[in-house]
Amino acid sequence: MDRVSRTVAIATLGCKTNQFESAAMEERLQETGFELVPFEAGAALVIVNTCTVTSATDSQSRNLVRRARRLNPACRVVVTGCYAQVDPEALRRIPGVAVVLGNAEKKDFLRYLETDASEALVCVSDIAAETEAVPLSLTTFAERSRAFLQIQNGCDAFCSYCIIPYARGRSRSVEPGEILGQVRTLADSGYPEVVLTGIHIGGYGVDLSPPTSLLDLVRRIELETDLPRLRLGSVEPTEIPDPLIEQVAGSSVLCHHFHIPLQAGSDEVLRRMNRHYDTRFFRELVERIHDRIPDAAIGLDLITGFPGESEAEFAETLRLIESLPVSHLHVFPFSRRPGTPAASMPDQLPGDLIKARAAQLRELGEKKLHQFAGRFIGTVLDLVVEGGRDQGYCRGLSRNYLSVRFPGDEALQGQRVAVKISGWSEGLLTGELA
């Protein structure tokens, strides 16, 4: 192949698990002689790593394929990820798609790249039959200051709205020794922070022999590696035991940050969602975390517009969040996913009502973030400096998930710095190097 034909671009949609897998694919491609270029450069090979959490992400995935062909009509497009897993036929029919790969096939993606079939090749196995987590290996994250590490894949929860168990399969954990090895490699490469990711990390280790847990894993990472900072990804509320809260509280390595899916603040809506807790349980959990770790960021995932969600039920969600010491809201308008129980439930809400409720929740989220962040004005925060320097300013992320803008040189990217917080502007804390 000539140099032009060895150019590749990867477009990634969705969660941190997808971001991890795309970064690992980038590394493997570079090792085999491909040149990574921006998507807009019109690469000879384009890989679209898709998400299918909502109908909007399905549409974005299809549009990326079409855009790649407009940029370079001769390019070959490989589509993988969750949308490819659950509806490969929809992607195969798009002109220009050369290969459609399921999530299990990602680990061997290189061997599918050189195929020269006249029709699109579809390689999507039964993800439910997968019994082991075989993650792509990764030693570095190009142009990133923090590294993501996949410790688990799949989910056993089967919430009534969620397509992910059908796209990712059953929960499967990576062996602790493999995780520890990757953490050491990332720490040795200079990454000041690693984020543990997966689809359902609170269930980590239950499927291993002998069984283990997320708590045991983070204890081992603290004891057996030199990693400066470790952050947990999203953990289900029923999988945050008091010993894990205590581990975070007493640690100089674990970030004071909990990302917890609430999804709804109404017991009746939670029941219809097949969520196995009620609002009283959730309130007590959040209050325990806040009482034990007052500076902890507590972010919530919320779905609004679930089938049958009444004005009274939505008002319950607003009241619950108003009363809780939370810092961040991640709001998702309900999206019907074919094949899930919620897709066929009665009383589907109109899109304009869902959009309006989502806007209300996001406004409340901005208020909560401002209140939380304001507590740290006048203090010094330990930041990891991220990319994207703008007009002489850097941006860093604190242990408790606050973004801070401060004057600084681009050489600071990837470093840990202390910044004295002086104010709040345009959704960010501001400060100066201490």
Whether the CB-CB separation of 44 and 76 falls below 8 Å is answered with yes
Render 149-214 in DSSP notation, one character per residue: EE-EE--S---TT--HHHHH-S-EEPPHHHHHHHHHHHHHTT-SEEEEE-SSGGGTTTTSSS---H
For residue 126, give the nearest of 86, 161, 80 by alpha carbon. 86
pLDDT confidence of residue 396: 96
Is pLDDT of 359 > 50? yes
Q: 137 or 422, which is more confident?
A: 422
Residue range 47-65, pLDDT digits in tens: 999 999 888 999 999 999 9
> CATH classification of 380-433, choosing from 3.40.30, 3.30.70, 1.20.120, 2.40.50?
2.40.50
Whether the CB-CB separation of 34 and 5 falls below 8 Å is answered with no
Q: Give the residue extent of every domain in the chain.
A: 4-125, 146-373, 380-433
Is pLDDT of 405 > 50? yes
> Cα–Cα distance between 28 and 43 in angstroms, integer?
17
Q: How high is the mean pLDDT of the chain?
A: 93
Whether the CB-CB separation of 237 and 250 falls below 8 Å is answered with no
Mean local confidence (pLDDT), 93-97? 92
Tokens 């939370």: give the residue: 326
> Cα–Cα distance between 434 and 425 in angstroms, integer?
19
HSE, side-chain direction, 13 A CA sphere, residue 284:
8
> Cα–Cα distance between 310 and 156 in angstroms, integer?
29
> What Cα–Cα distance (Å) separates residue 377 from each residue in 257, 364, 394?
18, 21, 18
For residue 17, give the nearest of 145, 175, 133 by alpha carbon. 133
For residue 286, which phi and psi values (nearest 5 degrees)?
A: -65, -40
Whether the CB-CB separation of 331 and 302 falls below 8 Å is answered with yes
pLDDT confidence of residue 130: 86
> Cα–Cα distance between 8 and 160 in angstroms, integer?
38
Is pLDDT of 311 > 80? yes
Q: What does the buried/exposed string (b/e) look like for 16-30 if buried means 16 or more CB atoms within 10 Å of the residue's CB?
A: bbbbbbbbbbbbebe
- Which three-class secondary structure string do you get for 303-355? EECCCCCCHHHHHHHHHHHHHCCCCEEEEEECCCCCCCHHHHCCCCCCHHHHH
For residue 278, which phi and psi values (nearest 5 degrees)?
A: -120, 180
> Cα–Cα distance between 190 and 414 in angstroms, integer?
8
* Reported confidence tier of residue 2, pLDDT bands at 50, 70, 90: very low
Domain over 4-125 is classified CATH 3.40.50.2300: yes
Is pLDDT of 35 > 60? yes
> What Cα–Cα distance (Å) separates residue 159 from each residue in 53, 169, 176, 241, 272?
13, 14, 27, 21, 9
Tokens 């990764």: give the residue: 138
> Cα–Cα distance between 353 and 252 in angstroms, integer?
45
Is pLDDT of 278 > 50? yes
> Cα–Cα distance between 50 and 164 in angstroms, integer?
12
pLDDT confidence of residue 134: 74
Whether the CB-CB separation of 275 and 267 falls below 8 Å is answered with no
For residue 22, which phi and psi values (nearest 5 degrees)?
A: -65, -40
> In this prediction, what percent of the chain has a pLDDT beyond 70?
97
The pTM is what?
Answer: 0.91
> What Cα–Cα distance (Å) separates residue 275 from each residue in 7, 205, 271, 291, 417?
45, 21, 6, 25, 40
> Which CATH number applies to 146-373?
3.80.30.20
> Cα–Cα distance between 299 and 231 in angstroms, integer?
13
For residue 384, give the nearest of 418, 434, 411 by alpha carbon. 418
Largest CA distance in the chain: 64
Q: How many residues does this entry show for the chain?
A: 434
Cα angle 55, 57, 60; round to 5: 115
Mean local confidence (pLDDT), 330-344? 95
pLDDT confidence of residue 58: 93
Residues 6+ apart with CB under 8 A from 341: 160, 161, 274
pLDDT confidence of residue 395: 94
Whether the CB-CB separation of 148 and 197 falls below 8 Å is answered with yes
